[in-house]
Amino acid sequence: WKGVEWDWYTKGGENVLYWHWSPNYNWDMNFKLEGYNECLITYVMAAASPTHTISAMPYTQGWSRNGAIVSSASVYGFPKIFNYNGTGSVGPMFWAHYSYLGLDPRGLSDQFANYWTLTQNHAKIMLAYCVANPKNYKDYSDKCWGLTASYTRNADGSQGYDAHQPNNDRGVISPTAALSNYPYTPVESLKFLRYLYEENKDKYVGVAGPYDAFSPQYNKWVTKRYLAIDQGTIVPMIENHRTGMLWSLFMNAPEIKSGLIKLGFSSTQYGF
C-alpha cells in the first residue's frame, strides 16, 4: 500500500485516477475511475497514503464528477442516491461489497451521500427486482435472488462470464450477491442461504460452499466451479454483519481516518 504510486495514476496531475498504465502501452486504455462503481476504496487508499497521496480534488472532480454522481431517481420506491455507471438502474451487487469489506458504510457520509443508505438501498433494489421478476424467470423470489458479476450460462448452454444486473439479467443467480449482502438484508440473505442448503444442497452446493452461479430457469443449470473473488466477499461481509470486526479494524487505522477526513467524509460510528 505504501509502495503504490497512487499519485502517478493521476496521469500527470489530472484531477482523477486512472485504472491502467503499463510501460508497454502507457495510458492507451484511458479508463478513468469515475463513480459510481466498485472503485470508491481506491480513492480512500490513495488519500490515506503517507508516501504517494492525492488531494481531495481527484475525488471531488474525478470520482464524484463535481456532484454529477448524485441521482434523484428511485427504483422500486428506494432512492438510488448515485448514478450507477452504464446501468440505467443499479449496478451488479459487487459494487456494494468490494469497497465495503473494510470501509464501514454505517454512519458514513460526505457531501454527496449517506453510504449506509446507498449500500442498503442497492441491496433492497436488487431484492425488489428479483421479487418483481419482470422477465418471469423460474424461482426468482425473496429466497432466490441476487445478480452480480460471475460465471454465466451462454445461450448455447456453455459457460461464460458476465456482470449480471437488472438491465443485464440472464436468469442466472450468483450466490455471492445475496450472501455478501448480509449486513444490508440479513433476513433475506438468510432466506437465500436456507434455499441453498435446505432445498438445493445436492445441486447448488459443493465442497467449498455454494457454486459460483446457477439458473433454475434452465433446468437447474449450475457451474460447478468457484471464483475466488466471488467467494472472497462472502465470509468478510457475514463477519461484518455478525461483529463488525473487519470494519472496525480498517476504520480505526489512523491513516484511514485521516484519508477519509481529507476527502470530506464523516462517520458517526467512529467519531470523526
Check whether the bond before 36 is cis (ω within 30° of 0): yes
- Amino acid letter at 159? Q
Residues 119-162 have pLDDT tens digits of 999 999 999 999 999 999 999 999 999 999 999 999 999 999 99
Average pLDDT over all residues of the chain: 98
Query: If you search the block for the grid coordinates 452504464, which residue do you land on?
Result: 86
The residue among 157, 190, 180 whose CA lies nearest residue 229 is: 180
CB atoms inside a 10 Å sphere around CB 212 = 25
CB 263 within 8 A of CB 43: yes
| Cα–Cα distance for residue pair 11/18, rounded to 1 Å | 7
Domain with CATH 1.50.10.140 in the chain: 70-267
CA distances 195 to 54, 71, 141, 143, 241, Å, are 45, 34, 11, 6, 20
User: φ, ψ for residue 163 (rounded to 5)?
Assistant: -100, 90
For 120-152, the DSSP string reads: HHHHHHHHHHHHH-TT--TT-BTTB----EEEE
CB 82 within 8 A of CB 118: yes
8 falls in which pLDDT band (50, 70, 90)? very high
Q: Taking the domain 70-267, which CATH number applies?
A: 1.50.10.140
| Cα–Cα distance for residue pair 95/75, rounded to 1 Å | 17
Q: What is the pTM of this model?
A: 0.96
Residues 203-233 have pLDDT tens digits of 999 999 999 999 999 999 999 999 999 999 9
| Cα–Cα distance for residue pair 99/38, rounded to 1 Å | 6
